[in-house]
């Protein structure tokens, strides 16, 4: 069903709609990121990521004739009348997504425009990594490197020798050399840096796990810390112009690296989340989820976006007056979670080959299986609980480890025969009156819970949903990394819009290249928004805040993924990709 519409429809303030185009095979959720190339020979082109249709993993030939996914080429020379003019196919069962970019590169090996595309799986026959295309002539793209990337996982050769899946990539031209940074989905060292001076032969020169710099906050349960997106820019650090990589590291916040020597990056600093959510002061800890960010045009500020699709967290209450936070499984509706109650029973990890999950004992009015995270998938755990028979719900408690412990998140499951809740380790152990020590939980020696399978625990007396909003925007001082302000659309802070209005989380930000006070946001069902940094004292960044100054909502509903800016004839234009249709073009009137 279509989500209910937000108001007002149309454009307002500092966003004026100039033109739009729907791709020829437009359908729900088919479009991802957007990129733009330079004006050449009087023509300019944009690129839309085709994320793959619903049958992306289906049994088809793939390739150039029937591609599962790829990149649309859009002629935007006439901004009021963009036209789809081409398509760059990807390997079967392979899709692009977040990390698409066009950069003009000039080295001794190559001179022209390179389109960088990340590659992830949508089916079993995928080829991952990243691809580089020469799009100097966008109507005749030439492959430079395809399905390239790190082919090891934690030092061992990846299965099949294929490149690891990559969610995002970013290129920068550093003069006589060019580089690419890729997000590696398959290992903890998820920052992969490549020398692409010869783009036909990328060379891996550095791998980093930023958790080695202590960027996460385990005391707040913010340990789901990994790379999601990144950008690189020449900015001033301690009075010296430096190539700086800005990385969005989910629960680790935003991290700065000095990449003047990309083979040996140096840590500069990182942001921290506050103990209490700034927009919901009664909520602790905050959600985390540093998703994407950019420096403003004058490099004075960083604007970052937190992506959060879950506007509720759950409070689990028990018969011994203890309570803890929980998140529902991806297939568990809030009302189903609210209905969970009963006596808890510890069933171990519930993995194939482990101690079998016992049949639910005849205690209380209902029984809840408490499962320990680890070893096998969430799907396998839930399936084994269902097979054991008699349980009314599943609670998964986090394991030990530096990336776990107190953290809670939504466990991904394609099928949930029972309601599923996920709790931090402290909450899970408390159900069985077991002690919790954070330092022990975080150390290098992971231990399983010292609870005998079949042990009866506390009675869950209620599960209460607590509204904590959707993902929003943060403003930082780029020099000190102090958080200065936050911005969210009003509907995302209102529980009346928590359901039936689509996803009201922010997704991406693109700053104005000419006006350092302006930036533009893709906000999923919240449309496209323009925000401005306003300071009561221009000399004091602490007096600065984010203010909405424009927006756009399509009359038939919006679902914006990507946003990008470019300059033509001294004017800033804004491109935005709608997941269900195609490309929209705006300017500041």
Whole-number Å distance between alpha carbons of 232 and 211: 20
Share of the chain above pLDDT 70, in %: 98
4 Ramachandran zone, left/alpha/beta (phi>0; psi -120 to 50): beta
Tell whether the model's pLDDT for residue 32 goes beyond 70. Answer: yes
Residue 489 vs residue 68, higher pLDDT:
489
What is the token pair recorded at 389?
């028979």
Tell whether the model's pLDDT for residue 390 goes beyond 60. Answer: yes
pLDDT tens-place string over residues 488-529: 999 999 999 998 999 999 999 999 999 999 999 999 999 999
Whole-number Å distance between alpha carbons of 227 and 248: 6
pLDDT attached to residue 394: 98
Helix%, strand%, coil% for the chain, nearest 5: 10, 45, 50
Pairing assessment for the beta strands 367-372 and 342-346 based on DSSP bridges: parallel
Residue 585 forms beta bridges with which residues? 19, 575
Cis before 33? omega within 30: no
pLDDT band at 363 (very low <50, low <70, confident <90, very high): very high
pLDDT attached to residue 2: 55
Q: Is the pTM of this model over 0.75?
A: yes
CB–CB of 433/478 below 8 Å?
A: no
Nearest residue to 69 via CA among 52, 85, 84: 52
How many residues does the structure list for the chain? Answer: 589
Beta strands in 220-311 (DSSP E): 229-237, 240-248, 254-258, 266-270, 290-295, 301-306
Mean pLDDT of the chain: 95
pLDDT attached to residue 7: 74
Tell whether the model's pLDDT for residue 3 goes beyond 90. Answer: no
Whole-number Å distance between alpha carbons of 267 and 269: 6
Point out the least confidently predicted range of 198-207, 409-418, 552-561: 409-418
Query: What is the C-alpha R_g of the chain?
Result: 24
Residue 352: Cβ within 10 Å count: 12
Whole-number Å distance between alpha carbons of 278 and 224: 20
Whole-number Å distance between alpha carbons of 436 and 433: 10
Mean pLDDT of 568-574: 98
Instruction: Please enumerate in sequence order all residues whose Cβ is within 8 A of that of 194, keeping only pairs 6 or more positions apart, or say none.
Output: 148, 179, 180, 181, 182, 202, 203, 204, 205
Which domains, ranges and CATH numbers included, belong to the chain?
10-311+468-587 (2.130.10.10), 312-467 (3.50.30.30)
Whole-number Å distance between alpha carbons of 259 and 428: 42
pLDDT band at 75 (very low <50, low <70, confident <90, very high): very high
CA atoms within 13 A on the CB side of 15: 32
| Number of alpha helices (DSSP H) and beta strands (DSSP E) in the chain | 4, 39
CB–CB of 292/230 below 8 Å?
A: no
CB–CB of 494/285 below 8 Å?
A: no
Terminal CA-CA length for the chain: 35
Residue 67 vs residue 60, higher pLDDT:
67
pLDDT attached to residue 99: 79
* 158-174 CB burial, b ≥16 within 10 A, e <16: beeeebbbbbbbbbbbb
Whole-number Å distance between alpha carbons of 524 and 144: 33
Mean pLDDT of 132-155: 95
pLDDT band at 158 (very low <50, low <70, confident <90, very high): confident
Nearest residue to 424 via CA among 450, 395, 444, 448: 395
pLDDT tens-place string over residues 241-271: 999 999 999 999 999 999 999 999 999 999 9
Mean pLDDT of 131-146: 98
pLDDT attached to residue 63: 53
Vertex 442, ends 436 and 446: CA angle to 5°? 90
Phi, psi of 555 (to 5 degrees): -60, -30
Residue 570: Cβ within 10 Å count: 6
pLDDT band at 161 (very low <50, low <70, confident <90, very high): confident
Tell whether the model's pLDDT for residue 1 goes beyond 60. Answer: no
pLDDT tens-place string over residues 183-214: 999 999 999 999 999 999 999 999 999 999 99
pLDDT attached to residue 133: 99
pLDDT attached to residue 471: 97
Mean pLDDT of 283-311: 96
Phi, psi of 351 (to 5 degrees): -100, 155
Point out the least confidently predicted range of 65-69, 135-139, 315-319, 478-482: 65-69
Tell whether the model's pLDDT for residue 121 goes beyond 70. Answer: yes
pLDDT tens-place string over residues 82-109: 999 999 999 999 999 887 999 999 999 9
Whole-number Å distance between alpha carbons of 347 and 356: 8
pLDDT attached to residue 415: 82
pLDDT attached to residue 157: 85
């Amino acid at each position: 069903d279509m989500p209910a519409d937000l108001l007002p429809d149309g454009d307002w303030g500092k966003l004026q709609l100039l033109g739009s185009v729907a791709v020829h095979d437009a359908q729900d959720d088919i479009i991802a990121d957007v990129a733009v190339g330079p004006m050449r020979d009087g023509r300019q082109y944009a690129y839309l990521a085709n994320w793959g249709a619903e049958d992306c993993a289906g049994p088809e030939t793939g390739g150039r004739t029937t591609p599962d996914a790829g990149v649309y080429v859009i002629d935007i020379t006439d901004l009021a009348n963009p036209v789809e003019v081409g398509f760059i196919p990807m390997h079967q069962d392979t899709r692009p997504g977040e990390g698409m970019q066009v950069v003009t590169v000039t080295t001794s090996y190559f001179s022209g425009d390179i389109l960088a595309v990340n590659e992830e799986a949508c089916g079993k026959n995928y080829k991952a990594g990243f691809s580089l295309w020469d799009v100097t002539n966008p109507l005749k793209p030439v492959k430079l490197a395809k399905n390239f990337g790190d082919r090891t996982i934690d030092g061992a050769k990846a299965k099949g020798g294929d490149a690891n899946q990559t969610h995002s990539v970013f290129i920068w031209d550093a003069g006589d050399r060019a580089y690419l940074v890729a997000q590696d989905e398959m290992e903890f060292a998820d920052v992969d840096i490549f020398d692409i001076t010869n783009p036909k032969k990328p060379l891996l020169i550095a791998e980093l796990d930023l958790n080695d710099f202590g960027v996460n906050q385990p005391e707040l349960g913010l340990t789901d810390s990994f790379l999601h997106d990144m950008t690189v820019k020449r900015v001033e650090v301690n009075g010296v112009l430096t190539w700086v990589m800005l990385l969005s590291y989910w629960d680790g916040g935003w991290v700065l690296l000095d990449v003047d020597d990309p083979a040996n990056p140096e840590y500069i600093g990182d942001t921290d989340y506050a103990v209490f959510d700034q927009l919901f002061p009664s909520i602790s800890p905050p959600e985390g989820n540093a998703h994407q960010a950019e420096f403003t045009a004058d490099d004075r500020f960083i604007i970052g976006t937190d992506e959060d699709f879950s506007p509720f967290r759950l409070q689990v209450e028990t018969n011994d007056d203890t309570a803890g936070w929980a998140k529902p499984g991806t297939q568990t509706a809030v009302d189903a979670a609210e209905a969970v109650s009963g006596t808890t029973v510890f069933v171990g990890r519930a993995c194939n080959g482990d101690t079998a999950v016992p049949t639910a004992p005849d205690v209380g009015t209902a029984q809840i299986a408490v499962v320990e995270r680890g070893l096998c998938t969430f799907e396998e755990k839930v399936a084994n609980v269902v097979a054991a028979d008699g349980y009314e719900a599943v609670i998964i408690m986090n394991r030990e480890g530096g990336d776990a412990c107190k953290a809670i998140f939504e466990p991904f499951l394609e099928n949930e025969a029972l309601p599923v809740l996920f709790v931090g380790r402290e909450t899970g152990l408390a159900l069985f009156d077991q002690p919790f020590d954070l330092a022990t939980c975080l150390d290098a020696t992971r231990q399983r819970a010292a609870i005998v399978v079949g042990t009866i625990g506390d009675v869950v007396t209620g599960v209460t949903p607590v509204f904590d909003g959707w993902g929003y925007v943060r403003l930082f001082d780029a020099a000190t990394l102090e958080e200065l302000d936050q911005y969210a659309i009003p509907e995302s802070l209102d529980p009346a819009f928590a359901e039936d209005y689509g996803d009201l989380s922010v997704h991406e930000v693109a700053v104005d290249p000419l006006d350092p006070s302006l930036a533009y946001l893709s906000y999923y069902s919240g449309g496209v928004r323009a925000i401005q940094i306003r300071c009561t004292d221009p000399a004091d960044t602490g007096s600065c805040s984010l203010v909405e100054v424009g927006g756009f909502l399509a009359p038939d509903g919006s679902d914006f993924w990507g946003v990008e800016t470019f300059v033509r004839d001294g004017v800033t234009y804004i491109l935005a990709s709608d997941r269900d249709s195609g490309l929209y073009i705006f300017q500041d009137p």
